[in-house]
Amino acid sequence: MRAVVYDQFTAEPEVRDVADPAPSDAGVVVRVETTGLCRSDAHGWLGHDDGIALPHVPGHELVGRIHAVGPAVERFRVGDRVTVPFVCACGRCAQCLAGNGQVCPNQTQPGFTHWGSYAELVALHDADVNLIPVPESLDAGAAALLGCRFATAFRGLVHRAGLRSGERLLVVGCGGVGLSAAMIGVALGAEVIAVDIDASALARAASIGVTYTIDSSGLDEAAVLARIAEAAPAGVQVSVEALGRESTMRLSLLALAPMGRQVQIGLFSSEPTLPLPRIISQELSLHGSHGMPASDYSELLDLVASGALRPQDLIEHRIGLDEAPAALVALASGDRSTGVTVIDVA
Ligand SMILES: [Zn+2]
Ligand SMILES: [Zn+2]
């Protein structure tokens, strides 16, 4: 098969022929239709993930058709169109049995614990636990984005922070996952305020129904907080930090009204300092979100099927596998100007 491979962290990835994967006993191999180019692929390539063994093939948000099935798989057949959460659970441990496969200690992650979906074929483990059937009518790009960005944002907002219709939602950082959170907030009836330093990212936010956009370039923290307070005189109930920077995490927490809930989605490569006195005195809560187990996807799929949520509207570029190495390097260099990119493999 053809795949995007890197031999060293930060060394130029290249498209080359490699051996086809075989399905594990309870796993499948999927022929990839489309896979998303996600910021965590860039973190992996930069060497921020110690689970990655070299050489490596990135890619963890995908849709495709089953190409081969392991002997222990019961619920799926060759030809089925499926997606998968980027955290694949074991289905047997205490966390999995409690419905929390997204924090399974035995988890596998395509594109991290083994080769991923920037490839014609990808192996996925524990298929009966993790595969999610995808309707034929759903756009391949939209389906791919459900594997990571939309699932992480949906679980964070709905299952962790309990966002309700009519609440004010602040989104700090309008990259792919931030815009996914904003789009879900709009679909759920929240009034969404978005902050970024990039005018094109804010224009995208406005185009998907965000009520207030705030360009924070050149503004200090107090000035940005004042702008947020103007946009939300009754306060912000839920905030999302989608960049993974100490300054924006702090801004996101300080903008919250008393009893506010923060969803932390941006990834950190070092440990940030928190404004803990404020968290205590205002009884703020801080929620991590690490994807969503396959068993919880029906609500998200219903929202997409109803037309209220259109992940495909976030896609700005559809590229081929040959263009993926350069796109991954550009993303890792901090280029946020290009919007969401998906790779159409088949
Ligand atoms: Zn488990
Ligand atoms: Zn991702």
pLDDT digits (tens, 9 = 90+) for 14-40: 999 999 999 999 999 999 999 999 989
**Whose atoms come closest to the Cα of 94: which ligand?**
1
In this structure, which residues have their CB less than 5 angstroms from ion ligand 1? Answer: 89-90, 93, 96, 104, 106
Express each pLDDT in 228-275 by its tens digit.
999 999 899 999 999 999 999 999 999 999 999 999 999 888 899 999
Q: For the whole model, what pTM was predicted?
A: 0.94
Whole-angstrom distance, CA of residue 98 vs CA of residue 27: 22
CA 200, CA 240: separation in Å to the nearest integer?
19
Rounded Cα distance between 64 and 67, Å, is 9
Over residues 63-76, the pLDDT tens digits come to 999 999 999 999 99
Token output for 299: 């609500």
Q: Which ligand is nearest to the CA of 37?
A: 2
* CA gap 115, 55 in Å, rounded: 9
- Span from the CA of 258 to the centroid of ligand 2 (angstroms): 31
CA of 102 to the centre of ligand 1 (A): 8
Ligand closest to CA 116: 2
> In whole numbers, what is the pLDDT of the chain averaged over residues?
96
Ligand nearest to the CA of 41: 2
Q: How far is residue 249's CA from residue 132's CA, in Å, rounded to a whole number?
A: 33
Please answer whether residues 170 and 238 qualify as being in contact, where contact means their C-beta atoms are separated by less than 8 angstroms. yes
